[in-house]
Amino acid sequence: MQSILRRTLASSNPLLRCRASLSPRAISRHFGFRTIVTKRYTAEHECVAFDETTGLGVISITDHAQSSLGDVVFVELPQVGTEVSQHDQIGAVESVKAASDIYAPVSGKVEEINETLADQPGLLNKSPEEEGWLCKIKLSNPSELEELMNEEEYQASYEH
């Protein structure tokens, strides 16, 4: 389904044909403007949704991660303004008495954190990749995204 969408868009939209390195995974409507958001995944179930127009990557954990964690009771987030390198520890999630470290999928600066998680840690279970977003990073090196997995590769990686 996705590939059909991509081919149709590629032929009709000249902007898409220019994007050789990052194949768009979704078109989202944001305040009436169409933006291209690229989603990439790590082997440890972190997700980054990168918006090329803002240069911001929204960091979250995947649905698979939240189901294997159990009910989240506490979320530790980085401080706004922190500079992180790819693979640095940037926070932790606690569930069923287990504190699990989260790592930065990309390098950059933490611009915003999801304050709602302090009172509603369960959002990570209910809506891990949307309302349960962890933080937003201004990417210092977008080419790092190419090292990460796309959705198909990610799903294949844990479904043995």
Partner 1 sequence: MSSSLPPVFYHFFRTPLPYARTLVLQEQLHALQLSQRRLGVHKDVLLLLEHRPVYTAGRRQHENSVRDEKLRLTNIGADFVNTLRGGELTYHGPGQIVGYPLLDLSRYSPAMGIRDYICRLQKTLELHLREGHGIKHSASEHTGVFLNPTTKVASIGVQVRHRLTTHGFSLNITEEPLSWFNQIVACGLADVRAGSIEGVEGRPISLMDEIPVLIERFGKLYEREMVEMDPNNEGEIGRAILEVEEIARQAGPWATEPIEAPIA
Chain residues binding partner 1 by CB under 8 A are: 44, 67-70, 74, 76, 89, 92, 94-101, 103, 158-160
Residue 148, judged by CB atoms within 10 A of its CB (0-12, 13-18, 19+), counts as buried
Calpha distance 69→71 (Å, rounded): 7
The minimum distance between CB 44 and partner 1, in angstroms, equals 7
- Ramachandran class of 32: left when φ > 0, alpha when ψ lies in -120 to 50, beta otherwise: left
The minimum distance between CB 120 and partner 1, in angstroms, equals 16
Calpha distance 26→22 (Å, rounded): 12
How much is the CA Rg of the chain, to the nearest whole Å? Answer: 16
Which residue number, 29 or 97, has a Cβ lying nearer to partner 1?
Answer: 97
